[in-house]
Structure 1
Amino acid sequence: MSRFSLAPRLRYLADRARRIDVASVIERAREASEQHGKAVPVVVVDMLWSAGRHNVGFQDYIDYDFAILTKAERDTFMTHPVSNQISQQYDHPDYRHLFHDKAEFDARFDAFLKREWMLITEGNADELRTFTERQGTIVVKETHGQAGTGVHRYHAADVADWTAFHAELLAKKQVLVEEVIRQHEDLAAVCPGTVNTTRITAFFDGEKTHILAIAQKFGRGAVSDQMSFGGFYTMLDENGHSMGPGYDSHGHVHVTHPDSGFPIADFQLPMMDEVRAFVDQVARVVPQIQYVGWDIVVTPDGPVLVEGNWGAGVYENKPSVTGIRTGHKPRYQAAIGF
């Protein structure tokens, strides 16, 4: 396969240069300085050089402890700018809307959701009531929300006026209604109050689906396991076993789950053979979108699909937490050929 085209990278770098927030860079440099004992000016220069020359995002630099890594070690880490280049080159613009719009996504991937869902429209308050009372609890989403925004959980027992409830959701554009996923007991053992998703970043080359990285996210009892809801993640190895404690982008490290006390390094994702086969199946539904971050949940009956992210983002190892000083970039390079 060819290398990335130069034009998108130049546009990306130019856009970053226009939007650079010097105060934010210095703040991040101070964070690295305090954690790793490096002088702030040295870190600032290194961050800017890494961004301009090596496609390293400022937050990547902090999250993956670049201040303590050698150049050879840094070169093994996937970064957000590189991930963005992959997305731009291998995810066809004409098909991205199927992943942007959650309602369109549910319709296209309905067979893999393995749960009931409906759309709120004008005049279907009775349908909403029937659906919600049958389920007991529902999850409602905005069709274009990101990072857990616009996701809410409602209980039928709390609704007194169904017409008003329907009108409220419609006005807030919270129109995608889904059945709550029942997760596998091994996931519930870590956090039973949140459906804990597994982010599997994969590349479909037209014949084979390559699993590039696996991150297990854990919530804190809220409707979402995203960091904005207090969630965190741990990287899993190719066999689905945790590579160490959990962490987030806010400096929090969790050796055990703060609520359940479960040792994060002991976690094993169940049904890995089924998970691999499932990811291969969903990757073939829209083959024009080759590079995707798939969010799945393992249930007692096997994996189910939550959503797909064509702008896959990056989940990586954190050396200061795991003691592992290498990342996943070689897997990306072997699969994609850059």
Structure 2
Amino acid sequence: MPSQGLGLAPRLRYLAARARRIDVGSVVERAKETSQQHGKWTPAVLVDMLWSAGFRQVGFQDYVDYDFAILSRAERATYMTHPVSNELSQKYDHPDFRHKFHDKVEFDRVFSEHLHREWMIVEDDNADAVRAFTERHGTIVTKEPVGQAGTGVHRYRAEDVDDWDAFHRGLLERGEVLIEEVIRQHADLAAVCPGTVNTTRVTAFFDGENTHILAMAQKFGRGAVSDQMTFGGFYTMLDENGHAVGPGYDSHAHVHEKHPDSGFVIADFQLPMVDEVKAFVDRVARVVPQVQYVGWDIVVTPDGPVLVEGNWGAGVYENKPSVTGIRTGHKPRYRAAIGF
């Protein structure tokens, strides 16, 4: 695919917005954290962080997470970063169709056949239906229509509910209007963390004919309703065959050679049904072809992959050199598929 570039105007707008929101204290703290971890002089790190942000499209947290302080310029150039990912989202995810991903209720409607689980909407007059749904499944997940990083997601057990009218009323008052059946994950995922449904993030680009898988990351939870970092979760990158490339890590300087609860060695993880996952991503990518660049959250069940959600602002999952020993990222794959 020939290079189409990523327009200067969106980049300047993004930089201007970042400059207005910059938290100087937070940037300094990140510089101190990096200097302590890698034995670098703090002022030099701070200058390099600011230079990288202003002229190399590297987010401050990207700089920390992907160990830019120890990488050469050529190595840094192989890393995907959040500012670049944001440009791709703005260019290739049509604004008239983003709501189909942003609103969880609308997402379930549009992608219903790919969810492979029961779901329902909480309404003013359906308290009996909510009770029947919850008692039938035993445990349910509720979601607020708009949220990110796992916010607005809750889990309830039928046996804990004493007053069903009050439960129904509370869901409405809190805006938890989407109810879903809990996903039963594959035994290979449950072996790592049985208390959380562990999702696989597959970042993909649909060019109108073919779906290109750009990166795969496996997220693991800590027993909470979500595997996001805000719930104590972490991730490891997967290779093309779905095998972990090293230990797990997060954006809070935590490294997990083993899962803290199960003791599972993260580097030994192998995603089951990899070929089925790739074929599944190709199918879901064609449902709303106007949104081409998506971070798909998928769970492998005993019967195959199911869809959790799609993120039109795909975000970035990348390799961490100090943890894996691998000093290159996924940006060449993005360039080859998208042509920027």
1:84 and 1:253 map into 2 onto residues whose CA distance is: 27
Deviation at 1:105, TM superposition (A): 0.1
User: Which residue of structure 2 aligns with residue 281 of structure 1?
Assistant: 283
1:287 Cα offset (Å): 0.1
Q: 2:264 aligns with which of 259, 262, 265?
A: 262
The separation in 1 between residues aligned to 2:49 and 2:148, in whole angstroms, is 27
Letter in 1 for 2:339: G
**Aligned residue number for residue 46 of structure 1:** 48
Instruction: Say which is worse superposed, 142-151 or 284-293, in terms of deviation.
Output: 142-151
- Equivalence for 2:13: 11
Number of the residue aligned with 2:39: 37
- What is residue 83 of structure 1 aligned with on the other side? 85
How far apart are residue 19 of structure 1 and its match?
Answer: 1.4
Query: 1:243-301 deviations in whole A, cap 9, x for unaligned?
Result: 10000000000000000000000000000110000000000000000000000000000
Alignment partner, residue 26 of structure 1: 28
**1:1-338 maps to which residues of 2 (within 5 A)?**
1-338=3-340
Q: Distance in 1 between matches of 2:152 and 2:23?
A: 27
Q: What is the alpha-carbon distance in structure 1 between the residues aligned to residue 244 and residue 161 of structure 2? A: 40
Q: Secondary structure at the match of 2:88?
A: helix
Write out the 4+ residue segments of structure 1 that deviate beyond 3 Å after TM superposition.
Answer: none
- Name the CA distance, whole Å, in 1 between partners of 2:320 and 2:42: 21
Q: How many residues align?
A: 338
Task: Give the whole-Å Cα distance in 2 for the aligned partners of 1:243 and 1:22.
Answer: 34
Classify the secondary structure of the residue corresponding to 2:96: helix
SS at match of 2:319: coil
> With structure 2 as the length reference, what TM-score do the two structures score?
0.99
Counterparts of 1:112 and 1:19 in 2: how far apart (Å)? Answer: 38
In 1, Cα distance between equivalents of 2:30 and 2:149: 22
SS at match of 1:325: coil
Which ranges of structure 2 fall in alignment gaps of 5 or more residues? none
Local SS of the residue matching 1:93: coil
Q: CA deviation at 1:30?
A: 0.2
**1:160: Cα distance to partner?**
1.1
1:225 alignment partner, SS class: coil
**SS of equivalent residue, structure 2 residue 246:** coil
Percent pairwise identity: 78
Structure 1, unaligned runs of 5 or more: none
Amino acid at match of 1:123: D
- Alpha-carbon offset, residue 240 of structure 1: 0.2
**2 CA distance for matches of 1:261 and 1:57?**
33
SS of corresponding position for 2:288: coil
Give the Cα separation in 1 of the matches to 2:175 and 2:240: 39
CA distance in 2 between counterparts of 1:104 and 1:329 reads: 31
TM-score (norm. length: structure 1): 0.99
Read off the aligned partner of 2:290 and give its amino acid letter.
Answer: Q
Separation in 2, partners of 1:228, 1:22? 23
Rounded to whole Å, the distance in 2 between the matches of 1:20 and 1:176 is: 35
